Amino acid sequence: MHDTARSTADRRRLARGLPALRDADERAIARFIDAVWAEHGLARQSLEAYRRDLEQLARWLDGARGGLEGADRQTLHDYLAWRFGQGYKPRSNARLRASLRGFYAHLVRLGVRADDPAALLEPPRLPRPLPKALTESQVEALLAAPAVDTPEGLRDRAMLELMYAAGLRVSELVNLPANAVNLRQGVVRVLGKGGKERLVPLGEESQDWLERYLAKARPQLAGGRPVPADAHGQVPLFLTPARQAPTRQAYWQALKRHAAVAGIDPRTVTPHGLRHSFATHLLNRGADLRALQLLLGHASLSTTQIYTLVAREHLQRLHARHHPRG
């Protein structure tokens, strides 16, 4: 087994034109791995990742430029540039930077080096993951999935409508107190991250389903008795048959069930995905980015700007599909 792994590693090394590991570098790496294990008790996978990163740098250097222990900052930059040319991914280079910083900080602590060439290495830019949004037709199917002839189904319909109408986080949704909704004014008061409050419009559909839930389903779920307050002294808006607010996990599972009923792959549907859908659909229909920031409760506009990438992709697809020169 070990010989097979070594031969595979050798084939990869030879394919990249890298020489064998020098004894001095192998000893330096082994001392570092032992020290990291003793100090931090890292998992075997993490230690092996450190080892691989350092061994590849040592082979690339092959004793030149001071070898592994003597490499300067420019050498490390050159190595990162070489990796970029070899097609290494940004996340792999981000992990490499952590390995280099740990190794050279270790040499400084031992007195082997007076400086740390990896201390000022700039982190590689990682690609920002685009939110996964449902299409408008998928959202319509999802909203219509709950069986509204049952109290739980009517509650789930009201929760889905509210989450999509107001772009709520799942924690904000399940923890809404009963006094957070003002049906007369058509707004919901949301307590977001950092304890910041925001007022979000309900929309006619969401307001209608909330009225139905409050009139029919909630009294049945409460069993005709007063609903006890939670640990924060708040009476929850949405109830389970136990007269408590649903948990985030329970809502997640309900969302998966409704997605399956709607003919949508449940693996592609998440509570946060519904919030992303709210933002993406608003932007696609011309919403202002600053207004979207307020509706989502983002502290910084830069957080909201990721949705412009989604909208741009949508416009590009429309152009390619409908323009005669697309």
Task: Give the pLDDT confidence score for residue 127 in this predicted structure.
Answer: 55
Domain with CATH 1.10.150 in the chain: 2-110
Per-residue pLDDT tens for 3-35?
333 334 443 443 455 677 888 889 999 999 999
Task: Give the pLDDT confidence score for residue 9 in this predicted structure.
Answer: 44
Per-residue pLDDT tens for 257-304?
999 999 999 988 988 888 888 888 887 787 777 777 777 777 666 666
Q: Is the pLDDT of residue 210 over 70?
A: yes
Does the global pTM surpass 0.85? Answer: no
What is the residue-averaged pLDDT of the chain? 83
Lowest mean pLDDT among 152-156, 194-198, 218-222, 271-275: 194-198
Q: Is the pLDDT of residue 156 over 70?
A: yes
Q: Which CATH superfamily is domain 136-322 in?
A: Intergrase catalytic core (1.10.443.10)
Q: What is the spatial distance between Cα 44 and Cα 245, in angstroms, rounded to a whole number? A: 42
Task: Give the pLDDT confidence score for residue 6 in this predicted structure.
Answer: 37
Class of residue 108 by CB neighbours under 10 A (exposed 0-12, middle 13-18, buried 19+): middle
Per-residue pLDDT tens for 101-129?
999 999 999 999 999 999 887 765 655 56
Closest CA to 143 of 133, 128, 158, 132: 158
- Residue 190's H or E segment, with its range, is strand 187-191
Terminus-to-terminus CA distance in the chain, angstroms? 54
Contacts 24+ apart (CB under 8 A), 90-93: 90/124, 90/125, 90/126, 90/127, 91/126, 93/124
Q: Where are the alpha helices (DSSP H) in the chain?
A: 2-15, 23-40, 44-61, 67-70, 73-86, 90-110, 136-143, 151-166, 170-174, 204-212, 218-222, 248-261, 271-284, 289-296, 301-304, 306-322
Domain with CATH 1.10.443.10 in the chain: 136-322
Q: Provide mean pLDDT across the span 169-187.
A: 92
Across the beta sheet with 181-182, the strand order is 181-182, 187-191, 197-201
Q: What is the spatial distance between Cα 255 and Cα 261, in angstroms, rounded to a whole number? A: 10
Contact 282, 166 (CB under 8 A): no
Q: Is the pLDDT of residue 164 over 80?
A: yes
Report the percent of the chain where pLDDT is more than 90.
44
Give the CATH architecture of domain 2-110: Orthogonal Bundle (1.10)
pLDDT band at 2 (very low <50, low <70, confident <90, very high): very low
Q: What is the spatial distance between Cα 271 and Cα 164, in angstroms, rounded to a whole number? A: 10
Task: Give the pLDDT confidence score for residue 4 in this predicted structure.
Answer: 36
Active centre residues (catalytic):
169, 193, 272, 275, 298, 307
Show the tokens assigned to 84.
């970029």
Residue 244 to residues 49, 170, 226, 239, 256, Cα–Cα distance (Å)? 46, 16, 11, 5, 21
Closest CA to 52 of 74, 77, 75, 83: 83
Per-residue pLDDT tens for 138-154?
999 999 999 999 999 99
- Of 182 and 93, more confident: 182
Task: Give the pLDDT confidence score for residue 306 in this predicted structure.
Answer: 62
